[in-house]
A and B are shown apart, each in its own frame.
Chain A
Amino acid sequence: MTPVTRGEPTLQAIDLTKRFPGVTALDSVSIDIHPGEVHALVGENGAGKSTLIKLINGVYGADEGELRLEGEAVAFAGPRQAWEAGISTTFQEINLEPFMTVAQNLLLGREPMRGFGLVDVKKMNADAARLLRRYGIAFDERRPLGSVGVAVQQMIAIVRAVSTDAKVVILDEPTSSLEPNEVEQLFRVIRILRDDGVALLYVSHDLDEIFELCDQVTVLRDGRTVHTGPVANITRLELVATMLGRDVQDVRSSGKTAFDIEGRRIGEPVLSASGLSRYRVLSDVSVDVRAGEVVGLAGLLGSGRSETVQGIFGLLRLDDGEIKVNQVVLKRGSPAAAVSEGVGLLPEDRKAEGIVPTMSVKDNITLAAGRSVAKWGFVSSSKVEEIVGKYVDRLQIKVTDLDQSVGELSGGNQQKVLLARLLCNDPDVVLLDEPTRGIDVGAKAEIQALIDELAVGGLAVILISSELEDVIEGSNRVFVLKEGMVVGELQGAAISEDAVMDLIAHAVTDARPESA
């Protein structure tokens, strides 16, 4: 598939570095995108994919490094400039008008005129129809754009981009909301563009798509390039391993984490979820966890691991499924009901879903404590201080003052505040979604040790982590998810990185969840 002589790359990013306060989002990343090639960009959450895209399409400026378009150094002051220079990103809705027709959108700003400032509607529609035909899109160009499906809107955005001379097209997870037949249609358009010599950057975490469509692949991890090369030269297993930061040949020895699963005594089943389904997201997912057990959910980003715990907790509406906690059927779609039955969720996105930035450390910890700190609806400050003091000691939360604003704490300490919030409710089962993401090494080990301690104390834990070693070393059992389905359950000695990666790479799902 890859031509032997590829000529000059259309777009070259050279040693791009982007720092945000406290974190280097992208560290000296280079990527070459050649004309007539589809270049896949993959990586887990926080790997730096979206930062790289935003550096290329002008949303951010790079702190270091250079961007070359057709050999010439370029620097964009904003997305508009990048777009005018020929770098187009799908989902740039600024360029599309939902109330205008498909034809008007396609030819916006360059409509054929009839004189007197009047648009030649007939010619415009004919031109638009020709464009659509060329890319195999069967669609009435006179319909308003807003009335067509997301897939067609996307294709129209792409067609509009290339018909205005786009040299580079960036597709950011274009299939995430498409039906299987729409995916095929989109791929057809992408292949026509490729054959026309457009350089395409394709962001996805769907392995099947990458192997079906892409010529080159670049893997980012923790803001660095960990692999770049032709898709034909890498196996699925190798790709999964690089994405997760593992080495296939040399699986590292255990002991990387602070987990110690020896001391746990597994007890009675506490939570069992069966047949969790949601259109396009989850398909018949069943998981369970017992007292004293840590159950890991493994899978790539988008595999449905977070959605599973959100479904259990009632944050994600389910089409079907039953959740039982201590033999009691949980009311669906109600986090409050889940909490009162003894379920707690540590959300994946600490800032957006966890902390209340306008409240103090003290109030954040006891936010959900309810009855244990309040009598007749009045909060007892002595009880609050007692509970907060206990958890600040136990979790070693570093604060200068309990009335300090929670926003002033470091990521690790904020995470501990949220863990304390969960624990002071005295739960039977906790769902921990990425408990150690984005925090420093020391806090990470402390939190891992804490999870251990909780399990030994009889708590049932469901653990999600994009760090495979966390799941491998921390879990008594592991469910492996792929495309919204459970593709395997591993237990005890059978839990290994090889086994998990093998399931992720090779397990066959029925294409997409909805067809199951």
Chain B
Amino acid sequence: MTAVTSPAPAVTSEKTWRFIRENGVYLALAAVVLFNLIATPNFASLRNAQLQLVQVAPVVIVALGMAIVIGTAGIDLSVGAVMALAAAMVAVFVEQSPWLAIGMALVAGVLAGILNGSLVAFLGIQPIIATLGLFVAGRGVALAFTSGRLVEIFDPTLAALGQNRLWGVPVAALLAGLLALVTSLMVRRTQFGRNLIAVGGNPRAALGAGLPVRRVLLIVYVICAVFAAIAGTLVTSRSAAADPSFVGLLIELSAITAVVVGGTPLSGGKVRVLGTVAGAFLMQLVFSTLIRHDLSDADARMVQAAIIIGAVYFQRDRGAK
């Protein structure tokens, strides 16, 4: 995407490569934005910016939770199903009170996280298998709550969450930004953040240093599920309907992609929060760019796949160093 093929002295090219590798997601994002500014009519409009922000917000939020799980060398496949559970909770409780609905959605997230986290932390089940259970069952439970139907929601308070703007910025995007800030602070500044990096970087060392490895794992999965529940609530609010069959469908893939493209290694021990956010934006923009330039949905997906594989390839290279 960027032209850095000019022959240079060995040291310089080594450094250049490292710079590209570590900041690839930002460079790629800049390139896509640049391309759109030139080639896509109406790209640089407020309306378009607001639309992109609203669309990317749930992916960012889910990806943030995914990033810390991946930081512990884990993975959470159940985020989409948890979004559906949250949507179902909103549908069931919104009649009584929108606040209760949001509260119950979060409670569903906490419970889902405790289930995933317990399987991983206490029973020692591999994360991919442990979260596969909820991945399969979660959406079924959500459908049972709404009797398998799409439930329309007409609550103004709830609608405000997904549809209103503050200073021209969608509330959903502000919320995503806030959560990114919180996650970044948590990873960089708190003891819990350091513990989770240590658990991912070398679990035996973390145990030997006397760190509460199991508790860290449990909490990480709870945070991830709660973030997914928040995203589920946002999507429900934005579309003014709870549709457990489709809310968050395949979002685990987008989230994992955002995390990996953003420079967080799947092997754990490192979390790049800003990179994750940029990764989510990159995937969103690439997708919308391709659609805007008349590629079919199927073609767009193939490009997405190519980006994932490319990003993982770069990761591998870095790991080999």
The 4 A-B pairs of least Cβ separation, nearest first, read A339-B210, A358-B269, A356-B201, A368-B209
Mark B189-215 against chain A: 1 for CB-CB distance below 8 A, else 0: 111101001101110111111111000
- Enumerate chain B residues within 8 angstroms of A501, measured Cβ to Cβ: none
A355 to B209, CA, bound (A): 10
Residues of A near B269 (CB, < 8 A) are 356-359
CA distance A335 to B190 in the complex (A): 22
Q: Does A315 contact B (CB under 8 A)?
A: yes
B194 touches A357 (CB 8 A): no
Are A378 and B190 closer than 8 Å at their CB atoms?
yes
Select one of A340, A358, A374, A378 contacting B210, CB under 8 A: A340
Query: Which residues of chain B come closer than 8 Å to A379, judged between CB atoms?
Result: 189-191, 194
Q: How far is the CA of A367 from the CA of B212 in the complex (A)?
A: 12
User: For A363, what are the chain B residues with a Cβ–Cβ distance below 8 Å?
Assistant: 194, 197
Asked if B238 is at the interface of the complex by the 8 Å CB criterion, the answer is: no
Number of A-B contacts (CB under 8 A): 77
Chain B CB within 8 A of A201 CB: no
Distance to closest chain A CB from B296 (angstroms): 41
Which among A41-49, A105-113, A346-354, A491-499 touches the partner chain?
A346-354
B270 at the interface (CB under 8 A from A): yes
Contact of A338 among B197, B206, B210, B270 (CB under 8 A): B210
Q: Which residue of A lies closest to B200 (CB)?
A: A358
Chain A residues with Cβ under 8 A from B189's Cβ? 378-379
CA distance A413 to B210 in the complex (A): 22
Once bound together, how far apart are the Cα atoms of A76 and B190, in whole Å? 52
Q: Roughly how many angstroms separate A358 CA and B201 CA in the complex, as a whole number?
A: 6
Number of interface residues of B (CB under 8 A): 22
Chain B: CB-nearest residue to A346: B208
Known: A357-B201, A357-B269, A359-B269. A335 touches B194 (CB 8 A): no
Assess whether A278 is interfacial by the CB under 8 Å rule. Answer: no
B206 contacts across to A, CB distance below 8 A? 356, 367
A358–B194 alpha-carbon span in the complex (Å): 11
Mark A330-341 against chain B: 1 for CB-CB distance below 8 A, else 0. 000001101110
Across-interface contacts of A355 in B (CB, < 8 A):
202, 205
- In contact, B197 and A359 (Cβ under 8 angstroms): yes
Give chain B nearest CB distance to A342 CB in angstroms. 11
14 residue pairs bridging A and B, Cβ less than 8 Å apart: A336-B211, A336-B212, A338-B210, A347-B204, A347-B205, A352-B204, A353-B208, A354-B202, A356-B197, A356-B198, A358-B200, A359-B269, A378-B189, A421-B209
Q: Nearest residue in B to A370 (C-beta to C-beta)?
A: B191
Contacts of A352 on B, CB cut-off 8 Å? 202, 204
Taken together as a complex, chains A and B put the C-alpha atoms of A472 and B205 apart, in Å, by 29
Q: Is A117 an interface residue (CB 8 A)?
A: no
Tell me if A's interface is mostly helix, strand, loop or mixed: mixed
Q: Does A298 contact B (CB under 8 A)?
A: no
CA distance A357 to B205 in the complex (A): 10
Question: Pick the contact of A354 from B190, B191, B205, B211 — CB < 8 Å?
Answer: B205
Q: Which of B182-240 contact A (CB under 8 A)?
A: 189-192, 194, 197-198, 200-202, 204-212
* Smallest beta-carbon distance B195→chain A, Å: 8
Enumerate chain B residues within 8 angstroms of A354, measured Cβ to Cβ. 202, 205, 208
Chain B residues numbered 253-311 whose CB sits less than 8 Å from any CB in chain A: 268-270
The distance from the CB of B275 to the nearest CB of chain A, in whole angstroms, is 15
Query: What would 17 more interface pairs be, CB under 8 Å, given A356-B206, A359-B198?
Result: A315-B207, A315-B208, A335-B207, A335-B208, A336-B211, A347-B208, A354-B202, A354-B205, A357-B202, A358-B197, A358-B270, A363-B194, A367-B198, A368-B209, A373-B191, A377-B190, A379-B191
A25 at the interface (CB under 8 A from B): no
Which residues of chain A come closer than 8 Å to B194, judged between CB atoms?
359, 363, 367, 379
B201 contacts which chain A residues (CB < 8 A)?
Answer: 356-359
Asked whether, in the complex, the Cβ of A356 is within 8 Å of the Cβ of B202, the reply is: yes
Contact with B along A305-344 (1 / 0, CB 8 A): 0000000010100000000000000000001101110000
Task: Please name the residue on chain B nearest to A375 by beta carbon.
Answer: B191
The answer to whether the Cβ of A345 comes within 8 Å of any Cβ in the partner chain is yes
Contact across chains for B192 and A377 when beta carbons are under 8 A apart: yes
| Contact among B191, B200, B202, B210 for A335, CB-based, below 8 A | B210
- Residues of chain A with a CB closer than 8 A to B197's CB: 356, 358-359, 363
Bound-complex Cα distance A354 to B209 (A) = 8
How far apart sit A347 and B210, CA to CA, in the bound complex (Å)? 12
The answer on a CB contact under 8 Å between A374 and B191 is yes
* Cα-based distance from A462 to B7 in the complex (angstroms): 58
Q: Which residues of B contact A313 (CB under 8 A)?
A: 208
Q: Which residues of A contact B205 (CB under 8 A)?
A: 347, 353-356, 367
- Bound-state Cα–Cα, A315 to B191, Å: 23
> Once the chains bind, are A345 and B270 in contact (CB under 8 Å)?
no
A59 to B189, CA, bound (A): 45
**Min CB–CB distance B259 → chain A (angstroms):** 15
CA distance A370 to B212 in the complex (A): 11
| A315 proximity list for chain B (CB < 8 A) | 207-208
Complex contacts, B202 vs chain A, CB 8 Å:
352-357
Asked if B204 and A336 make an inter-chain contact with CB atoms under 8 angstroms apart, the answer reads no
> Which B residues are in CB contact (< 8 Å) with A340?
210
Interface bits A362-394 vs B (CB < 8 Å: 1, else 0): 010001101001100111000000000000000
B207: chain A residues at CB < 8 Å are 315, 335
CA distance A335 to B209 in the complex (A): 8
Contacts of B191 in A (CB 8 A): 370, 373-374, 377-379
User: Inside 8 A of A345's CB, which chain B residues have their CB?
Assistant: 208
Name the B residues within 8 Å of A357 (CB-CB). Answer: 201-202, 269
Name which of A359, A373, A374 has the most chain B CB atoms within 10 A of its CB.
A359
Which residues from chain A contact B204 at a C-beta distance below 8 Å? 347, 352-353
CB-nearest residue of chain B relative to A355? B205
Contact with B along A59-70 (1 / 0, CB 8 A): 000000000000
- Chain A residues 395-437 with CB under 8 Å of chain B are 421, 425
Please give me the residue from chain A that is nearest to B212 by CB atom. Answer: A336
Chain A proximity of B197: nearest CB distance (Å):
6
Q: Which residues of A contact B209 (CB under 8 A)?
A: 335, 339, 367-368, 421
Which residue on A lies nearest to B209, using beta carbons? A368
A434 to chain B, nearest CB (A): 14
A97 to chain B, nearest CB (A): 24
